[in-house]
């Protein structure tokens, strides 16, 4: 009796490959990037705006590709195809999508982000990733938009109550002094700090709320 059940296809497992982002896989883009399991195809010149870290990243990539040009093997340069994308580690697809949204958005879309209808989680993702890749002006804009959003009366009403222990643990993990998480936020016992000081406090509250939802 032959043990051929694997060969007969009775058990077949397939690992899904990366999928193209429906919005930011741009046909005439010239750089393919893989974030988590999502492929993005965008314009290299767009990612190097604001003197971001991508400018240095692309320079290093070009130097590496040039050093391989003398090789007899023909290999597509990193970032030129879906088979050999530039891989971004430590980011989520939603964070990178938020970055691309800010770089490609139309004026009315940017105005919406500073209104009561803003997507606060998109702005949090944007603040995180622009800080990492040094999009300084976009980071400042995102923090200002977040500050405006959470300065509205009732802005926190839709959020679940965060347990003080969770807030303290989150602040410790992010190395944020606990008073910065509580005192100084709109409606929580003091004047709001400057926008650049809201980076970690707002992210701490977001993380704490997320963890609270997961524990319920």
Residues contacting 69, CB < 8 A, separation 6+: none
Confidence of residue 150 (pLDDT cuts 50, 70, 90): confident
- Determine contact, residues 192/186, Cβ cutoff 8 Å: yes
Confidence of residue 90 (pLDDT cuts 50, 70, 90): very high
How far apart CA 36 and CA 19 sit, in angstroms, is: 10
Residues of the chain with pLDDT > 90, as a percent, come to 48
Q: Report pLDDT for 63.
A: 57
Assess whether pLDDT exceeds 90 at residue 37.
yes
Using only the alpha carbons of the chain, give its radius of gyration. Answer: 22
Q: Report pLDDT for 138.
A: 96
Of residues 157 and 9, the one with the higher pLDDT is 157
Q: Report pLDDT for 192.
A: 42
Assess whether pLDDT exceeds 50 at residue 166.
no
CA 62 to chain centre: 25
The Cα-based distances of 88 to 133, 136, 143, 170 in angstroms read 11, 19, 23, 25
CA 67 to chain centre: 31
DSSP 8-state symbol, 208: H
- Domain 19-150: what homologous superfamily? Potassium Channel Kv1.1; Chain A (3.30.710.10)
Q: Which of 20-29, 146-155, 170-179 has the highest mean pLDDT?
A: 20-29
Question: How far does the chain reach from its first CA to its final CA, in angstroms?
Answer: 52
Helix (H, G, I), strand (E, B) or coil at 23: strand
Residues of the chain with pLDDT > 70, as a percent, come to 58
Q: Report pLDDT for 23.
A: 97
Domain ranges of the chain: 19-150, 164-215
Please state, rounded to an integer, the average pLDDT across all residues of the chain.
74
Neighbours of 127 (CB within 10 A): 26
How far apart CA 20 and CA 22 sit, in angstroms, is: 6
Run of H or E including 97: helix 93-104
Q: Report pLDDT for 111.
A: 94
């Amino acid at each position: 009796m032959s043990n051929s059940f694997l060969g007969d296809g009775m058990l077949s497992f397939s690992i899904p490959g990366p999928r193209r982002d429906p919005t930011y896989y741009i046909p005439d883009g010239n750089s393919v990037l893989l974030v988590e399991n999502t492929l993005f195809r965008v314009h290299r010149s767009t990612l190097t705006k604001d003197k971001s870290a991508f400018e240095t990243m692309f320079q290093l990539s070009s130097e590496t590709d040039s050093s391989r040009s003398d090789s007899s093997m023909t290999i597509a340069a990193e970032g030129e195809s879906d088979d050999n994308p530039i891989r971004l580690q430590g980011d989520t697809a939603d964070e990178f999508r938020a970055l691309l949204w800010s770089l490609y958005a139309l004026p009315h879309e940017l105005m919406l982000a500073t209104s009561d209808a803003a997507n606060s989680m998109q702005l949090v993702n944007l603040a995180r990733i622009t800080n990492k890749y040094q999009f300084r002006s976009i980071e400042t804009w995102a923090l200002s938009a977040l500050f405006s959003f959470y300065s509205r009366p009732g802005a926190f009403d839709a959020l679940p109550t965060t347990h003080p222990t969770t807030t303290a643990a989150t602040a410790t993990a992010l190395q944020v002094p606990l008073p910065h998480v509580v005192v100084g936020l709109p409606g929580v016992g003091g004047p709001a700090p400057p926008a650049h000081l809201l980076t970690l406090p707002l992210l701490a509250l977001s993380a704490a709320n997320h963890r609270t939802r997961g524990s319920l």
